[in-house]
Amino acid sequence: MSDERTKAIIGDVVEALRGVLRKHEVTFAEYRAGFMHMAKTQEAGELPMLIDVFLNSTVVEIENATRTGSKAAIQGPYFVPDAPFVEGQLAIRDQDMDLPKMLMRGRVTDQSGAPVAGAVIDLWHSTPEGTYSGIPRHGDLDKKYYRGKIKTDADGKYECISILPVPYQIPNKGPTGMLLETYMGWHSWRPAHIHYWIHADGKRDLISQAYFEGGDYVDDDCCEGVGNEFIVPEAYENGMRLMEVDFVLDEASSPKPARVAEPAE
Ligand code: MBD
Ligand code: FE
């Protein structure tokens, strides 16, 4: 049994790629070099990352057209589903204890402004060397570090301390870096960022990111992932960089992108 949506999308992907081959009069050697590069990227475990660099922001753009609360941001390749619940602070490696800290806090509400209590927020960010915990090729750092789940209180508020993230270079020693830097002359940096994934009963899930106003690469993200929301102005509290981010959740029943919401006739 064929699936109509898959059939339609893959059919169009193939047509679009054929258009590129014709436009550039791609040779057999180039065509082979292209797919061998994809194979190498997969072998290096970088295929999800490479695809996210180029295309995740477009999927987010489609989704955001139907959101009236906070806009979503790209998820990126390094979410780990079963991160531990934490209380007020993400686990910090011993070697990082003296680094500058940040205080992430804010409030989760619905569109009427009512607090969303008991929302689960997954938080994750990279180490200062630009690796993520719990990712096999990132040096086997235990997934308890720099990621965790927290819950909003009765007033919808959340609070969590961690070290201050720094600008992040996506792994650039492998085939993805080769493609971006050597072949395309781009750079492979993202601004310092925090990832959020918020789940709450009856609400539409929200995947988001926050950035640091004035930080390097905020205006020049290699993943084109920085929207206007959640570029947080510089402020400090108790010596920690304050990342105050309030989220407004859409209802789970809110309209989804039309083609997903309405089954094809
Ligand atoms: C990341 O950490 C990230 O957030 C994205 C979007 C892509 C690659 C690495
Ligand atoms: Fe990231």
Ligand 1 in reach of 170 Cβ (< 6 A): yes
pLDDT digit string (tens) for 7-61?
Answer: 999 999 999 999 999 999 999 999 999 999 999 999 999 999 899 989 999 999 9
Q: What is the pLDDT of residues 208-262, one digit of tens each?
A: 999 999 999 999 998 887 876 799 999 999 999 999 999 999 999 887 776 655 5
* Residue with CA nearest ligand 1 atom 1: 76
Contact 200, 116 (CB under 8 A): yes
Q: Write down the pLDDT at residue 213.
A: 95
Instruction: Judge residue 66's burial from the number of C-beta atoms within 10 Å of its C-beta, 0-12 exposed, 13-18 middle, 19 or more buried.
Output: middle
256/72 Cα distance (integer angstroms)? 13
User: Distance, CA 161 to ligand 1 centroid (Å)?
Assistant: 21
The domains found in the chain, sorted by start residue, are 44-248 (2.60.130.10)
Q: What is the pTM of this model?
A: 0.90
Which residue out of 49, 50, 54 has the highest number of ligand 1 atoms within 8 Å of its CB and is therefore the one to mutate? 49
- The b-or-e profile of 1-22 (16+ CB within 10 A means b, else e) is eeeeeeeeeeeeeeeeeeeeee
Q: Is the CB of 191 under 6 A from ligand 1?
A: no
Q: Is 171 in the pocket of ligand 1 (CB under 6 A)?
A: no
Secondary structure of residue 137 in the 3-state scheme: helix
Report how far ligand 2's centroid is from the alpha carbon of 148 (Å): 14
